[in-house]
Structure 1
């Protein structure tokens, strides 16, 4: 690690370097862990301080009266820093203010905020105070420049030690990715690798696996175990009814729950709800239960659901609207019930004499299996990670995100994004390119190509042995949309927060298209002008060259790829014209509906009867058939490649999957936009939106009535459905 180095911190009158001013500069010179020098100055900003800044820093107008100007201070600051590497917390903020004041520094810069977000990938806060607390660093007076600078130096040293403790394979991979970049932290991770190699050596087979692109050496060993799944649940032929009175005794004032949790509040409405839920299981009924806040709904339905699943080996799915409630059920409510059953097994809790059903249930609960399932986009896709790792044109945001993910991979066993901090929109956008995608994979292919390391399918496989599965409405409805392929088979469903179900169905079945979205889709197929070594057609052509195919076959495929590229370019050219015409129409016909939230215009029969609508249809007639032909060309290319002997073409199966997924997206966009512009469906509602600035135009559709969908796919399809909420 660099030594010596100088840490820098500023206090300012506000956050805008263009209009605010520096009021204090603090620098501390470190040689390793030792502080060897300090430098600080108060600066007169030639303006009054706000009450907030004085409260935050403790600096007053009187403190700054008669102090030097920033111009007087900067030469001394430059001399103190010299050529030393600079360390700062959120370095861009400090350097931005210095540049605005006229000081441009070319020193090597290390940002502890950026470093911490990589090395501690699952923290909720990366503030200096939070990080100092985590590492036991004393922050004598927060928001005073010298104290903050000294704490930043100690934090940097702590992070350097943290980095050197990373698995050597992780450091090697980060440095491989950053080798040809100008990333500011490149030298930091090179130094960390050198430090790590003093005590750790990479086994030969691990190094070879890493060099071949294998993800294995980078994963938490617990995430690589195979065959560690519970036995698949097979329902009993003749279900045994629940003992409703026995279950109700669980919640009585002197029941086992109150014995284990002395603060438990006995509630009659909770017991009434439990009885209603248990009866619904026994009778195979569909039930709607409205229970106000404070009833204790979750225990009232979880206990009978758990009992039914254990007694009869019949899986129960519990769906919530929010992931927060989903996590609460999984991490608090169900463990609380299991704790009570454990107390019954050990004798630390009891039930009235003669009531044996709860004791029997407690014994069965020793083998209780529960699974938490979320939608695909919540899980890291190893295959898509491999694809990004293989690129040689990564930008700095992608490098930072990949480094964070690689560190996280040494810790996670689930691959669930809830464990990973994604603080910025750029981070979340990159995650979207790393997450599992619908249509982009299958259980069999991921099992073969990723060696059972796919987090989504591992979770799906574990759920097949679960008595109870906790999902959110989005995944519940996604399972309906794909014909039951997202969740293991089930006949019993509990829907909590059921008043959100209609909106969730509408959202799940809604569609949105915009010019930027479509341009990104076309770029994923073939970037504009063929720029950069990316796009599925570029990857396909590169793989075919390496595949050992005959010249005749390769030339034929190359012609087809070139023709598909031309269709992409044609679609891109015509896309802008269509959205420009539609933008003009919406701008002229929104009827003054614009607000601070933008403009929304219903695309109904009346709107389509406007004379100017003809120009919109003409614009669509130019781009629509082109999109359709592009989708057809991609599907034809995929089918032709599928018939080849793929043995010599590297990763062709993965590329075919990507090609098929992108072709599906092209065709879906075509069908939805065609319906909105030309051929609306009877049960559809269509509209266009302009954002508040009047720049971004999007086309939307949604089902008009969702009741028949609920009836067909839930009430008619399942043995019993229980819906509950505070308001129904």
Structure 2
């Protein structure tokens, strides 16, 4: 590190270097010859008040800067520090933008130094980091960071981060450095000199034994095969005694271990179902420790019978928890080794073949794609799985990734060098050798509906988050089609001269292999096909608008939905025209398939390029056929057992139409294709029963009652002492009253409760529309200097990012909908109040609910009690479960919807959650009781 690197961090009065935002503190650290040699720190007087949220964030007050120098007084000293050095910062545009704005205002020359952005470098060199904020990286790399959000401490932290990044760069292999050099011009950091120096330094170094080098790509070599499992002779009861009971393995390996009788009960229930070849529904309430409870019998059963067991989860979050936390603990607890493998769908795994071709492509990339390529290059030297979920790509990077995933490969020649290096094939081999295979509901259902060709053979499985199985199965048995999907397929194939797949194939293919192919015919038909696609989706968009003019129906996502069938009786002549357009489009697509089939794709001698492109011919043909199949199922073929609907965004593009089809009753399919095929399927979740009955879940999933074990494992938490359920009796009627008045009353209650609980509130809505209205009303009425207001869909960031922001402020209020009703874990004092605005009933005009309701009515059943109410109760239980996550948690559940008390079905809700004290009183009285209880 012979160069000079000048690391800077600024604290400012705001986020943009335009008036009135000013610099209030500067911290600079100088690195020379790999060591920190100098630092500089000063407050600066901005001559404007410092906003309260900046003082809250940094601790800097108006008093601190009152007697500080102005920027002009320190400008020369700052400029001199940067002489002949790199400008290094964590987010260069921010710090350089502010600095140059102040320099220009004072008549000084702006800095023109080469720049190195540690955010960008961290994304490239530590692609598996959990986040790229300075504090997150400091935690990840174990860099001490006292007093974050102060300029000099953040500058020192950034300097240490930069040194770590430089050392990481030095560890990269020659091939990776060479590829990074070819991408360097598309990055923001001036890396050329550093990369060239490293390239020269390692040109003659020994190749790392842990790396595999092929066609200029360096990637981590695969690990060795798993050993054979041992023979186990201990009984299951003795096995559990040695783990759960006094002085057992749990006491030895878990700090502060408290025995939970329900945990062992669940382990025994799972094992009983396995041994008696029964299916099981097991509801394990919060705090049971169900993951460990089912892993222990699963491992014992798999190892003792030498037959693998599948464990399926709905979310990747739970998969990660199982692999990173639960499985390592089980390895400590059990007295024998076992093998665990994770297997996901092809779309999760990178294709080295596709990525190598993408690197060789000469097409110009935007910044996100360039950054994605750089991140993937480094990640490949570290990953053993090739699972893209290990890293966080930039938003547009996922669009590029879909083009280089294993799913895009089509059929691959098993003799190909890439096949032996395929991450997906490696994952499949590991799964074949494993005792326990962890997968997700999506792949489980795909495997089920594809004659069990994807997962290794199994007879027994555990399905966690089982309340999502029916929904996932319905989607996989159904289909989707939308405009962008169709256009992407066509664009990937392309005309003969636009540089896409077909053009490249024809350009390199010998004339004899394409003698039967007419380029003129292809281009004409291709052009008409794209035109017909555009016209069809525009017509569908207008059709939905026309049909919904009198009674618009908005889903939770704000889209307009319209249910239809192949003989839509509402559409008249307009529907006939649509069907004609669908027919015409399918004919054009068949013509394209016919033309592609006239190409001779047999392997060409000494032409790897032709063979690479020719290998993709079946994939493109299948993609075109899939569009035909979907169009026919949606518009042309009768099906009494599916519901079909369209969704549009009223103010979106005029061809942005989403087409869906789902089964109205998946239970028969699950019964025939899944439960009757397997010996023992364990379904577990915290929300499977209603008023202590499993009949709803049993019927919905198609479980045979004569071969079913059920168990309800109670929570060890003392809910009677931890929770108060409070329902006001003076709110406007949620069904018939004014929505504005109801939202106003809700917001007033939020503000009152926030004063009692110091914020720390999660407010669950059933629609984005109501959430938005509440947010903007709260923003006008609440003291935003005291409370931080965070709202899903309005505040930027993912669900996990919003949750982290909520937890990082002392007094915050989080408004959420849809995904926030489950899977959000906020333990301890971060959450003291859960507000449920409305009981979570599905909108009655949602197409799937509407179709299922019709089905129940035809069967002579009550759709509300058979479908709407049970679904709402399950959802309510999920929401209720957000509040208490440990024995020390304490809080209020405030339900604004008085139907939970007044309606004759209200007891279904209150009797399906743990028994807690219930208060039904006026809002002022409730607030007083809440204040006294806290």
TM-score > 0.5, shorter chain as reference: yes
Q: State the shift of 1:117 in Å.
A: 0.8
Match of 2:298 in 1: 305
> Across the two proteins, how many residue pairs are aligned to each other?
673
User: 1: distance between equivalents of 2:113 and 2:251?
Assistant: 64
Match of 1:369 in 2: 339
Match of 1:355 in 2: none
Match of 1:518 in 2: 486
The answer as to whether partners of 1:598 and 1:690 remain within 8 angstroms in 2 is no
The answer as to whether partners of 1:84 and 1:107 remain within 8 angstroms in 2 is yes
Match of 2:668 in 1: 708
Of 375, 380, 389, 1:418 maps to 389
The answer as to whether partners of 1:447 and 1:454 remain within 8 angstroms in 2 is no
Match of 1:625 in 2: 584
Match of 2:59 in 1: 58
Of 405, 415, 429, 1:435 maps to 405
User: 2: distance between equivalents of 1:719 and 1:49?
Assistant: 68
CA-to-aligned-CA distance 1:104-154 (integer Å, 9 cap, x gap)? 765533211000111111111222234345666665653344554454345
CA-to-aligned-CA distance 1:600-635 (integer Å, 9 cap, x gap)? 323225993335x64465356446533553355346
User: 2: distance between equivalents of 1:632 and 1:243?
Assistant: 65
User: 2: distance between equivalents of 1:711 and 1:586?
Assistant: 36
Match of 1:476 in 2: 444
Q: State the shift of 1:35 in Å.
A: 4.6
Residues 679 and 324 of structure 1, relative CA distance in 2, 3 Å threshold:
same
Residue 15 (1) aligns with residue 21 (2): no
Match of 2:420 in 1: 452
Match of 2:187 in 1: 183
Q: State the shift of 1:711 in Å.
A: 0.9
Residues 114 and 668 of structure 1, relative CA distance in 2, 3 Å threshold:
same
Q: State the shift of 1:213 in Å.
A: 2.8
Residue 536 (1) aligns with residue 501 (2): yes
User: 2: distance between equivalents of 1:376 and 1:589?
Assistant: 39
Residue 152 (1) aligns with residue 158 (2): yes
User: 2: distance between equivalents of 1:605 and 1:35?
Assistant: 74
Match of 2:526 in 1: 568
The answer as to whether partners of 2:343 and 2:428 remain within 8 angstroms in 1 is yes
The answer as to whether partners of 2:312 and 2:438 remain within 8 angstroms in 1 is yes
The answer as to whether partners of 1:370 and 1:469 remain within 8 angstroms in 2 is yes
**3-state SS of 1:123 partner:** coil
Residues 341 and 553 of structure 1, relative CA distance in 2, 3 Å threshold:
closer
**3-state SS of 2:437 partner:** strand
CA-to-aligned-CA distance 1:519-546 (integer Å, 9 cap, x gap)? 222221227x955x4x2213322432xx
**3-state SS of 1:608 partner:** coil
User: 1: distance between equivalents of 2:76 and 2:636?
Assistant: 68
C-alpha RMSD over aligned residues: 3.9
**3-state SS of 1:15 partner:** coil
Residues 16 and 507 of structure 1, relative CA distance in 2, 3 Å threshold:
farther
Match of 2:617 in 1: 659
* More displaced 10-residue stretch of structure 1: 507-516 or 383-392: 507-516
Residues 146 and 573 of structure 1, relative CA distance in 2, 3 Å threshold:
farther
**Higher share of residues assigned helix:** 1
The answer as to whether partners of 2:482 and 2:659 remain within 8 angstroms in 1 is yes
Residues 650 and 21 of structure 1, relative CA distance in 2, 3 Å threshold:
same
Residues 243 and 24 of structure 1, relative CA distance in 2, 3 Å threshold:
same
Residues 469 and 645 of structure 1, relative CA distance in 2, 3 Å threshold:
closer
Match of 1:353 in 2: none
The answer as to whether partners of 1:571 and 1:623 remain within 8 angstroms in 2 is no
The answer as to whether partners of 1:43 and 1:70 remain within 8 angstroms in 2 is yes
User: 1: distance between equivalents of 2:341 and 2:555?
Assistant: 44
Q: State the shift of 1:714 in Å.
A: 1.0
Of 330, 333, 337, 1:340 maps to 333
* More displaced 10-residue stretch of structure 1: 391-400 or 620-629: 620-629
Match of 1:398 in 2: 369
User: 2: distance between equivalents of 1:105 and 1:657?
Assistant: 52
User: 2: distance between equivalents of 1:150 and 1:241?
Assistant: 58
Residues 11 and 677 of structure 1, relative CA distance in 2, 3 Å threshold:
farther
User: 2: distance between equivalents of 1:271 and 1:133?
Assistant: 36
Of 209, 215, 225, 1:228 maps to 225
The answer as to whether partners of 1:511 and 1:700 remain within 8 angstroms in 2 is yes
Residue 281 (1) aligns with residue 283 (2): no
Match of 1:464 in 2: 432
Q: State the shift of 1:407 in Å.
A: 0.9
User: 2: distance between equivalents of 1:570 and 1:651?
Assistant: 30
Match of 2:682 in 1: 722
Residues 79 and 595 of structure 1, relative CA distance in 2, 3 Å threshold:
farther
Residues 45 and 618 of structure 1, relative CA distance in 2, 3 Å threshold:
farther
Match of 2:867 in 1: none
Match of 1:356 in 2: none
Match of 1:44 in 2: 46
Q: State the shift of 1:649 in Å.
A: 3.2
The answer as to whether partners of 2:522 and 2:595 remain within 8 angstroms in 1 is no
**3-state SS of 1:197 partner:** helix
**3-state SS of 1:701 partner:** strand
* More displaced 10-residue stretch of structure 1: 310-319 or 59-68: 59-68
Match of 2:195 in 1: 192
The answer as to whether partners of 2:282 and 2:682 remain within 8 angstroms in 1 is yes
Match of 2:357 in 1: 387
Match of 1:323 in 2: 316
Q: TM-score, normalised by structure 2?
A: 0.64
CA-to-aligned-CA distance 1:247-285 (integer Å, 9 cap, x gap)? 554455347444544654444444443333333323322
The answer as to whether partners of 1:537 and 1:565 remain within 8 angstroms in 2 is no
For residues 90-129 of structure 1, the aligned pairs below 5 Å read: 90-95=91-96, 107-129=113-135
**Structure with more contact order per residue of length (Cα contacts < 8 Å, sep ≥ 6):** 1
User: 1: distance between equivalents of 2:471 and 2:18?
Assistant: 44
CA-to-aligned-CA distance 1:434-472 (integer Å, 9 cap, x gap)? 32217x344x62552315111111110121122221222
For residues 76-87 of structure 1, the aligned pairs below 5 Å read: 85-87=86-88
- The unaligned stretches of length 5 or more in structure 1 are 343-364
Q: State the shift of 1:497 in Å.
A: 2.0
User: 2: distance between equivalents of 1:139 and 1:523?
Assistant: 49
**3-state SS of 2:215 partner:** coil
* More displaced 10-residue stretch of structure 1: 192-201 or 241-250: 241-250
**3-state SS of 1:687 partner:** strand
Q: State the shift of 1:504 in Å.
A: 1.6
Match of 2:283 in 1: 290
Match of 1:347 in 2: none
**3-state SS of 2:307 partner:** coil
The answer as to whether partners of 1:250 and 1:257 remain within 8 angstroms in 2 is yes
Q: TM-score, normalised by structure 1?
A: 0.81
Residue 604 (1) aligns with residue 604 (2): no
Residue 169 (1) aligns with residue 129 (2): no
Residues 200 and 720 of structure 1, relative CA distance in 2, 3 Å threshold:
same
- The unaligned stretches of length 5 or more in structure 2 are 689-934
